[in-house]
Amino acid sequence: MSRFNSIPRRESERTGSLVIAPHNGPVAGLISAVVLALVLLVGISVQARADDPHLGIIEYEISCMPCHGVDGHGDGRLAHSLKTAPADLTRIAKSNGGEFPFANVADIIDGRAIVAAHGQREMPVWGDRYRRAIDANESPTAIERHARAQIAALVRYIESIQAK
């Protein structure tokens, strides 16, 4: 007998096909986690489009939330392990006279142009992570355009969470 025979099943009322019925045990939690991980991996591997309204929040959740927290206040689960506390991303505009410095934030996230003489950088250089070919035949120009689109989407999301 297969271990999958114990999974509750029912017939779909609409199509008449067999479907797995909802289950609230540890197996369901594991299945949900695996499905979520696969969805995230597929979402990450799909080429970024600058006009995708979800790209910024997805990038934030994957790349920024562990340190900057759910709401961007610098209270993420990894914040305590850093030498320098993560910035409160909701106060960037407020600390810049009410103007959000889009280009400066993009440069900080990208990280390649930061001068080493300014000290140790604990934040990863996300520009390097985003500059990976999606397709083996992708040109350097396309890779750069893709990376800039991801960074711009992330900066737009950070701009959207600014304190009023």
With 60 as the cut, is the pLDDT of residue 14 above it? no
Predicted pLDDT at 153:
94
**Domain parsing of the chain, residue ranges:** 1-45, 49-160
Burial code of 106-134, b = ≥16 C-beta within 10 A, e = fewer? bbbbbbeeeeeeeeeeebeebbeebbeee
State the Cα–Cα distance between residues 90 and 83, nearest whole angstrom.
21
State the Cα–Cα distance between residues 41 and 87, nearest whole angstrom.
27
Model pLDDT for residues 122-162, shown as the tens digit of each residue: 888 888 888 887 778 889 999 999 899 999 999 999 999 99
Average pLDDT for residues 17-42, to the nearest whole number? 51
Full-model pTM: 0.66
Query: CB neighbours of 62 closer than 8 A, spacing ≥ 6?
Result: 40, 44
